[in-house]
Structure 1
Amino acid sequence: MTYAKIIGTGSYLPPRRVTNQDLTAMLAEKGIETSDEWITSRSGISARHYADANVTSSDLAVRAAERAIEAAGVDRQQIDLIIVATSTPDFVFPSSACMVQSKLGITSNCAAFDLQAVCSGFIYAMATADRFIRSGMYRTVLVIGAEVFSRILDFNDRSTCVLFGDGAGAVLLQASDEPGILSTALHADGSYVDILCVPGHVSGGTVTGDPLLKMDGQAVFKLAVNVLDKVAREVLEQAKVDAAQIDWLVPHQANIRIMLGSAKKLGLPPERMVATVHEHGNTSAASIPLALDAAVRDGRIQPGHHVLMEGVGGGFTWGAVLLRM
C-alpha cells in the first residue's frame, strides 16, 4: 500500500510581533477600549504577527516552504504538485500556488493550485494531497497554509480584530511504503455561511459588499466544539486507532477554550496538545502547520508518533487528519 508521509515541515512568521498591549494602544487611538486581560481571558491569545504592507501570502508561503524542503533534504525539482490553502491570496488570479512555484524556481513538471476552505484549508489540502499520492498521480507534494488576515480585519470591531494574525506553515509529503496519513475526513454545511464570512467581492473594478471579516463568535464556538469531537472520532474509527494512542493533538489554533475542550472530550491531557495560539493568534489555514512545525522542531513530535490534526472554518467547514510521523 502507498501512503502519503510527511518528510519535512517548515513555518514562517513575519517579524512584526504585535502584543495585546500594542493592540490595546492601537485601538485606544480609535476610541475602542480593550485590554490584555480581556483578550487573553476570552481567547488565550497574547500576541500575533502582522506582515508589512508589501508582503503577500505567497511571500510567507515561500519562506515556510523553503524550510520544509530543507528539512526534508530533497531537491525542490522533485516536487510535482503544490497546494496552497489560503483565504487571502495575492491576487484574484493567478493562484498563490503558481506564485510560490515561480518564486521557488520549480521548473520541472509540476501542477499548482489554491484551495479555499478558510481555517480548515490546511486539513482539506492534506486530504487532497493524500488522495493524489495514494492514486499514484503525484509522488512529492508541497502543502502550504498561508494567510495575511490582518488585511481583512475590521479594526473598529474589537471582538474580531484581536483574534487573527499572519503567517505560513508547510509540509512536504512523499509517497512511501511506510504508514503516513492513516485517515482523513472532510465536512461542510453551507447553511452556516453567515456566522463567519467576508461578505464582499470585486465587481466592475470596485469592491461590492463588505470586504472585512464578520463573525458570530458564540455561534462559531458552539458549532466548533460539537463538530471537532465528531470528526476526530470519525478518523480514529476509520484507522482503527484508539484515542489513547494519540501522542499529539494539533488543533486549529483559534481559541484555547475550544482547543482544551477538544482534548478533554478525547480524554487527552493538555500536555499532549500542541498550542501556539498564545503567540500566533488565529492564522486561519496557517495555524495547524505552524503549530506542527513548532512541535517537530522542538522535539516533542517524533518519528512514529500518532498525530491528530483537526480544524474548523468559515463555510462552515471542518475536518481532521490522523497520521503517523
Structure 2
Amino acid sequence: MAHKTINNVSIKAISAALPTHSMGQNEFANLYGLKEAARVARGTGIKAIRTADGLSTQALIVAAVTQLIDNIDISLSDIDALVVVTQTPDSWTPGTAFAVHSELGLNEGCYVTTINDGCAGYVNGLVQATSLISSGVYKNVLLCTGDINTRLVDDSDYQVRMLFGDAASATLIGEGEDSVSYISGTDGGGKDLLGVKVSYGKTEENSARVKTLQMDGAAVMSFALKRVPEVVGNLLKGKGLSKEQIDLFVLHQPNEFILKYLVNLLEVEPTKVPIDVNGIGNTNSSSIPLLLARRYKVEGTKNNIILCGFGVGLAWNAMHVNLSDTRFIAPVEISAVA
C-alpha cells in the first residue's frame, strides 16, 4: 500500500470532552466479583472507565467544540464544514452531524456529514477534513468524534464492559503550509470480529433492534499486532524517515496490554508511545485526540508525529502529521443535567 499525501493544510487545535462520572474497581467488583474485576484490570491495565450516564453523543461533541472555540481566536460563524465521526448516533437519521450543526448554530451554508467509523475513525476523519481544505473550497473544518460506547455493551459481559469508555473530541483544520501523509487498509472479512449488528423486524413502535457489542478479543489482538507495525513501517519507509526521527507515536488506545506489546514490536522508546487508557477506557475514534489533549507535552520539536488507528472493520491506518503549531486544549468534563 502506497502512502498518499494531502497538501496545504494545518491542524490548528485539538480539544475533547469527558463525562464526569466514572466506574471503578469497587463498582465492577460489586457487579462481577472481586476476583474477576481484579483479573480484567491486571490484564488490560484499565481499572476505571468514564461513563456518560444521562448524556447524549451530541452533548459530548458540543461540549468538546465549545471548549475548543472558547480557547482559540475563531468563531463558530467561521466554520464552513463539519465532519462528525460516531458509531453511537442519538438518532438513526439524519445523523449526529445535523444535530450538532443545529445546536452550535452553524451557518446554513456549512457542509455537514456524519461518518460511521470506529477505532480508525480519527485518522480517516482527518483524511476527509484535510481533503476538504486542500480542495480550496473550504477554509475552516471542524472534525468531531464522539461515542457513548457504554450503551452498546452487554453489562453481563464483564470482559467488554470494563474496557470501553465514553468521550468526544473536536479538531480544527484550516489552510496552511503543512501536509499529511497516510496509509490506510481494510479487511472487510473481519467485520464480525468486532462490532454491533442490527436486527430488522417491524413492531408497532420499532423497525429494528440494535444488538450489543461483540468482540473476539484474541482475533482482534492478533490483527492489531500484525497490522500496526506493518502500516507504521510502510509509512515511514514511504516518507524516508527512521523511527528515531519520529517525536511521538500516538496509537489508538484499546488497552495497556496491547499497547505495551506494540511498543516492543515497533522497537521504539516507550516514552515515544504514550499510554492513557486507565481511568478512561477505550473511547473508540476519540482515543487519539483525547490522548493528545490530555497528555501532550508542548516542549521540544514535534514536527514528526505518527497517528495510528486500528480496530472495527477491520480497519487500520497510519498518518504522518506536523503538530508543532497545534494548540492542545485540556478536555472539559461535563455531567448530565438533573
Q: Same fold (TM over 0.5)?
A: yes
Aligned-pair identity in percent equals 27
Distance in 2, matches of 1:211 and 1:33, equals 28
Deviation, structure 1 residue 108: 5.0
User: Is 2:18 aligned against 1:10?
Assistant: no
- Which residue is equivalent to 2:312? 314
- Which residue is equivalent to 1:195? 193
- Paired amino acid for 1:315: G
Deviation, structure 1 residue 50: 0.7
- Which residue is equivalent to 2:279? 279
- Which residue is equivalent to 1:211? 211
Judged with a 3 Å threshold, the aligned counterparts in structure 2 of structure 1 residues 310 and 301 are, in CA distance, closer, same or farther, namely farther
User: Is 2:32 aligned against 1:27?
Assistant: yes
After superposition, residues 27-176 of structure 1 pair within 5 angstroms as: 27-28=32-33, 34-35=36-37, 37-53=38-54, 55-107=55-107, 109-176=109-176
1:79–1:141: 8 Å Cα contact kept in structure 2? Answer: yes
- Paired amino acid for 2:170: A
Describe the SS at the equivalent of 1:280: coil
- Larger mean Cα displacement after TM superposition, 126-135 or 167-176: 126-135
After superposition, give the CA deviation of every residue in 1:254-284 in whole Å (9 maximum; x if it has no partner): 0212222333333322212222111210011
User: Is 2:288 aligned against 1:288?
Assistant: yes
Deviation, structure 1 residue 58: 1.1
Judged with a 3 Å threshold, the aligned counterparts in structure 2 of structure 1 residues 21 and 3 are, in CA distance, closer, same or farther, namely farther
Deviation, structure 1 residue 223: 0.5
Distance in 2, matches of 1:156 and 1:27, equals 8
2:85–2:144: 8 Å Cα contact kept in structure 1? Answer: yes
Describe the SS at the equivalent of 1:187: strand
- Paired amino acid for 2:304: H
Deviation, structure 1 residue 46: 1.7
Distance in 2, matches of 1:42 and 1:119, equals 20
Q: Paired residues, what number?
A: 316
Deviation, structure 1 residue 93: 1.0
Deviation, structure 1 residue 128: 1.4
Distance in 2, matches of 1:90 and 1:302, equals 41
- Larger mean Cα displacement after TM superposition, 14-23 or 204-213: 204-213
Deviation, structure 1 residue 200: 2.1
- Larger mean Cα displacement after TM superposition, 147-156 or 207-216: 207-216
Judged with a 3 Å threshold, the aligned counterparts in structure 2 of structure 1 residues 2 and 199 are, in CA distance, closer, same or farther, namely closer
Distance in 1, matches of 2:299 and 2:124, equals 22
- Paired amino acid for 2:47: S
- Paired amino acid for 2:30: A
1:183–1:238: 8 Å Cα contact kept in structure 2? Answer: no
Deviation, structure 1 residue 208: 5.0
Deviation, structure 1 residue 158: 1.4
Distance in 2, matches of 1:309 and 1:317, equals 14
Distance in 2, matches of 1:169 and 1:93, equals 21
Deviation, structure 1 residue 145: 1.3
2:85–2:125: 8 Å Cα contact kept in structure 1? Answer: yes
1:244–1:267: 8 Å Cα contact kept in structure 2? Answer: no
Give unmatched runs, 5+ long, in structure 1.
none
Judged with a 3 Å threshold, the aligned counterparts in structure 2 of structure 1 residues 292 and 137 are, in CA distance, closer, same or farther, namely same
